[in-house]
Chain A
């Protein structure tokens, strides 16, 4: 078991963090300040400088970064590599998609039903007329599914690779299931052609901007939630479970509860992300549950750096921009590039971009300090 990063430096040189010498309280304030700054930047500056198309992309990718935060929570901190977050993402998307499909005059049902000769709304659609139910369901349904699955798997001490491939199987299963149910949820085609929300046109410029802002707020909220979970004693226990789960039992903790809880939270976050993404792309289909997409989500986190939450967000946005640039112009290259990215990140940059910047920054800081000392000595002489 390796030590992830050590603040140990030769010669008693302080690291930048120590150099600033902030109390925990002040550090928190600093972080909150930076977060606020980024929020303001995203909300007020970016819309002014980016084209509408790019801004729309940014909004989508920020929605995806919410899934990435969840993955970082369960994989980076707790050591559970889930290859099935796409399922929860899609569940959230479907929940909102059903609500959007039901924005109809009384007595009408979504058009696709007529293709299959269905005349009455299936019973489980009914609650989605209500927005408050939908809002809760977006988080809660994925979280409940994850808790059930997580409990059945985790309580038997199935972990590591086994957990990963079981979650991957879950993805296929849900994919098959949703694909096969034309009469209930329009099968392969999924739900689409949404027009209004709260009786407002979702394609109007104002509404789009509102959705963009909402997305940013949800990213911030998700960040704060994950930050809360990963700091303090609870976060320490997650790390302990990642590094040596059997030992944690002898310290008196039952890892099952902890793991199920974070898995459920990550699933709920994926659900929110799925809903926001669906709102911006206008479609949710079983493709969101495909195996490659779920595994792709993991690479966002790996690229950004899984030892930090901010890395997850940065990774999600960067990788997706790269994808949209590459697959627009050279669709062939994208798969090669993505495959290469997996290899590169795992073999060369295990701590991702943020980890790389950290170590490089630390080294630069040391060089800087040595140089300052030398300077001080020569000026003394």
Chain B
């Protein structure tokens, strides 16, 4: 009994992290049919933001350092949402209706973000800033000219070359003058550690069990996110618009809903949720450039199993996958079915974290034989028209 309860708790706490990561992905997928391969990197950015906020608060000394987590949540949401917004405006909206291409483009973005956190330093930041200012500023200024469409190709090429050149030269100069102070990477390629605040370190004993505070915190955080998202979708004007566009984009556009704004908003919120998930992840282990990659495939599976019709689908799927992963990976299942040697042998074979994923994937494929569109499929005529 304790065993079961213990595994249930552990499974749920794995599941809640997955769920938080998957929520954003699922609403975006429902709305735009787009899978964002950089979603994991948005989580990673959230985790790094936590790391930065923690360091800032640590400098401020005692009463502050224990409460960095709340501003970190806000900052992580903000940073990830901002990056998501830029991603949507700069890339994804041009690929509307081409989901496979979007997949590839966002993968490109995820590679760039990974390398970015590895090598970012003051020089790179300055170069990027200068480049962005010159290139997009120039674009914005020149786009007002009447003959813009005609000169567009040439002007953009020219701007690209010029602003890259100026940025590079500026960076060089900076590097030469200040040397190490500016060429030192901010984070580097190694993993960084976020230490949970003191009040999150212990745990609560319940009977023979011990429930770690971080886990409880993550579970409540997830609950808050779900509740917030639910209220936002069901009881606000923009939530209504998002639901309308999800169901029928053309019709929504006809009744005057600004679908472009809805897309951007949803994408930003979805990305922000990824950032919040990043905070949770940073509490569980160290943070590195590959943090996002560890979660991304599992979150995709949550969307596949849950379907895109309802939030509930994601919830059930995430908890299901989390529990299944833990039960199999920890070998608990093998303990539950003693006696049958073949079964226990097989289960023991899969009783590691990575092998559990193998088995869970097999189960998902079996599940898809019965419910190919997930637990709560999207309905209506547009499906498979």
- A–B contact, 8 Å CB criterion (strictly below): yes
A interface list, Cβ under 8 A from B: 75, 79, 81, 149, 152-153, 156-158, 160-162, 164-166, 168-170, 172-173, 176-177, 179-180, 246, 291-292, 295, 298-299, 302, 332, 335-336, 338-343, 345-347, 350
Chain B positions 20-63 with a Cβ under 8 Å from a chain A Cβ: 29, 33-35
For B114, the chain A residues whose CB sits under 8 A away are: 335
The SS class assigned to the A binding surface is helix
Q: Does B215 contact A (CB under 8 A)?
A: no
B40 to chain A, nearest CB (A): 11
Closest residue on chain A to residue B385 by CB atoms: A246
The 8 closest A-B pairs by CB, nearest first: A342-B108, A156-B372, A339-B112, A339-B111, A335-B115, A176-B354, A339-B108, A165-B300
For A160, the chain B residues whose CB sits under 8 A away are: 99-100
A299-B104 in contact (CB<8A): yes
B interface list, Cβ under 8 A from A: 29, 33-35, 91, 94-95, 99-105, 107-112, 114-116, 118-119, 293, 297, 300-301, 303-304, 352, 354-355, 357-358, 361, 364-365, 368-369, 372, 384-385
For B369, the chain A residues whose CB sits under 8 A away are: 152, 156
Selected from A152, A170, A180, A346, the residue in CB contact (under 8 A) with B104 is A346
A172-B297 in contact (CB<8A): yes
A169-B297 in contact (CB<8A): yes
Selected from B101, B119, B301, the residue in CB contact (under 8 A) with A350 is B101
B301-A335 in contact (CB<8A): no
A180-B100 in contact (CB<8A): no
For B29, the chain A residues whose CB sits under 8 A away are: 161
Selected from B102, B111, B364, the residue in CB contact (under 8 A) with A338 is B111
Most B-side CB within 10 Å, residue of A157, A302, A342: A342
For A176, the chain B residues whose CB sits under 8 A away are: 354-355, 357-358
Selected from B95, B99, B107, B119, the residue in CB contact (under 8 A) with A347 is B95
Given A157-B372, A161-B100, A335-B112, A346-B95 contact (CB < 8 Å): yes
Selected from A168, A180, A343, A350, the residue in CB contact (under 8 A) with B108 is A343
For B116, the chain A residues whose CB sits under 8 A away are: 336
B355-A180 in contact (CB<8A): yes
For the A-B complex with A332-B115, A346-B95 known, give 20 more contacts whose Cβ atoms are closer than 8 Å: A152-B368, A156-B372, A157-B372, A158-B368, A161-B33, A161-B34, A164-B35, A165-B297, A166-B365, A168-B300, A169-B364, A172-B357, A176-B355, A180-B352, A246-B384, A298-B104, A332-B118, A339-B109, A343-B105, A347-B105
The SS class assigned to the B binding surface is helix
Instruction: Show 28 residue pairs from A and B whose CB-CB distance is below 8 angstroms, ordered by the A residue.
Output: A153-B365, A153-B368, A161-B103, A164-B103, A165-B35, A165-B301, A165-B304, A169-B364, A172-B297, A176-B355, A246-B385, A291-B297, A295-B107, A298-B104, A332-B118, A335-B111, A335-B115, A336-B111, A336-B112, A336-B115, A339-B109, A339-B110, A342-B104, A342-B107, A342-B109, A343-B108, A343-B109, A347-B105
For A165, the chain B residues whose CB sits under 8 A away are: 35, 297, 300-301, 303-304
For B355, the chain A residues whose CB sits under 8 A away are: 176-177, 180
Closest residue on chain A to residue B299 by CB atoms: A165
For A75, the chain B residues whose CB sits under 8 A away are: 100
A177 to B29, CA, bound (A): 29
Selected from B94, B357, B368, the residue in CB contact (under 8 A) with A173 is B357
A335 to B120, CA, bound (A): 13
A233 to B6, CA, bound (A): 59
